[in-house]
Amino acid sequence: MENDITALIDRFLRGEMSIDEETKFKKEIQGDPALKQQVKEHLLLVRGIHHVMKEQDDKIINSIYATNKKISPKWQWLKISSIAAAIALLVVVGHDVLYIHSTHDYADSLSQTLTDEYNFQVSRGNSDDILDIKLFSLFANVASKENLDTTIIELSELYAQSRNEYVDYIDDFTTQIGIQLAIAYIYNNEYKAAKEVLECVVEDNPNAKDAQILLQKIKSILFAKI
Pair (142, 158) in one structural domain: yes
Taking only the tens of pLDDT, the chain with its 226 residues reads 556 777 887 777 766 778 788 888 888 887 888 887 777 777 666 655 555 545 555 554 455 455 555 545 544 544 555 555 544 444 444 445 667 878 888 899 999 888 888 877 666 554 556 777 788 889 988 988 988 999 999 999 999 988 876 555 555 789 999 999 999 999 999 999 999 999 999 999 999 999 999 999 898 888 765 5
Q: Domain check: are 82 and 151 in the same one? A: no
Do 127 and 202 sit in the same domain of this protein? yes
- Whether residues 84 and 99 share a domain: the answer is no
Q: Indicate if 121 and 165 belong to the same structural domain.
A: yes
Domain boundary among 74, 89, 104: 89
b/e 69-104 (16+ beta carbons within 10 angstroms → b): eeeeeeeeeeeeeeeeeeeeeeeeeeeeebbbeebb
d(CA 109, CA 117): 12
Looking at 48, 73, 89, which one is the last position of a domain? 89
Claim to verify: residue 113 and residue 151 sit in the same structural domain = yes
**Are 85 and 122 members of one domain?**
no
Cβ-in-10-Å burial (0-12, 13-18, 19+) of 5 comes to middle
Which residues form the domain of 34? 2-89
Last residue of a domain, one of 39, 58, 89: 89
How many distinct structural domains can be found in the chain? 2
* DSSP code for 172: T
